[in-house]
Amino acid sequence: MSIGLALRHAQHLLGSDRDLDVERTVDGALAEVVGVIEDLRELARGVRPALLDAGLGPALRELAARAPLPVEVSATTERFPPELETAAYFVACEGLTNAVKHAGAGQVRLSVARQGAAVVVRVADDGVGGATPTNGSGLTGLSDRVVAHGGNLHIDSGAGRGTTLTAELPCGS
Ligand SMILES: Nc1ncnc2c1ncn2[C@@H]1O[C@H](COP(=O)(O)OP(=O)(O)OP(=O)(O)O)[C@@H](O)[C@H]1O
Ligand SMILES: [Mg+2]
């Protein structure tokens, strides 16, 4: 936002003392900044990934197919409100990414199931364990996101026992 304001100020300063090249450059930069602000707003809203159109099962199987290690997927065919499916999907993405990045795992199990009034998303790897959320990291952000949905995120990750990430997201019925 402040870069946009600075550029608008520059446009204003150019005023009548016009240098067409400078003017065009400033206008172009401003247009790009406006585009980036829009992109960021959309991202912050947690845009629904197009993969979710067909539901969590197909989206998770697609994730699994792209992973560099075997991922077993078990997913309910039930559909949930879009924000909830998006939140569940992000849990799976972060869990799987962490398993690939940090765990040295041989395989991962991804599951989404309805349990009573909650959707339970679980990502379990058989790697080194020892996952801990640190300030501003992926797991902290994920926990904030899950809590914002009225749910909770549990990390079970003893050294040498692999890591299991479990998110419970209330689905209201
Ligand atoms: N599945 C896992 N197996 C082993 N260690 C893990 C696992 N997941 C996370 N960790 C450890 O916990 C730390 C915190 O994970 P977190 O996802 O919060 O951050 P990150 O993956 O390092 O960064 P970011 O998610 O922001 O890209 C990691 O740096 C890693 O050391
Ligand atoms: Mg991470």
Domain borders along the chain are 2-45, 54-170
The residue type at 143:
S
What superfamily in CATH does domain 54-170 come from?
Answer: Histidine kinase-like ATPase, C-terminal domain (3.30.565.10)
Q: Is the CB of 170 under 6 A from ligand 1?
A: no
Alpha helices in 45-121 (DSSP H): 56-66, 82-98
Per-residue pLDDT of the chain (173 residues; tens, 9 = 90+): 888 888 888 888 888 777 888 899 999 999 999 888 877 776 766 667 778 999 999 999 999 998 999 999 999 999 999 989 999 999 999 999 999 999 999 999 999 999 999 999 999 999 999 999 887 689 999 999 999 999 999 999 999 899 999 999 999 87
Q: State both tokens at 38.
A: 């829009």
Ligand nearest to the CA of 99: 1
Q: How many residues does the chain have?
A: 173
How far, in Å, from the CA of 51 to the mean position of ligand 1? 24
- pLDDT for 46: 65
Ligand nearest to the CA of 162: 1
Residues whose CB is less than 8 angstroms from the CB of residue 165 and which lie 6 or more positions away in sequence, other chains included: 91, 94, 95, 98, 122, 123, 124, 131, 139, 153, 154, 155, 156
Q: Are strands 118-125 and 108-115 parallel, antiparallel or unpaired?
A: antiparallel
Q: Is the CB of 133 under 6 A from ligand 1?
A: yes
Ligand nearest to the CA of 141: 1
Q: Is the CB of 91 under 6 A from ligand 1?
A: no
Question: Which phi and psi angles does 168 have, rounded to 5°?
Answer: -110, 120
Question: Which phi and psi angles does 16 have, rounded to 5°?
Answer: -85, -20
> Looking at ligand 1, which residue's alpha carbon is closest to its atom 10?
131
Q: State both tokens at 67.
A: 């992973």
Fill in the DSSP letter of residue 15.
T
With the most atoms of ligand 1 within 8 angstroms of its CB, the residue from 90, 101, 110, 146 to mutate is: 101
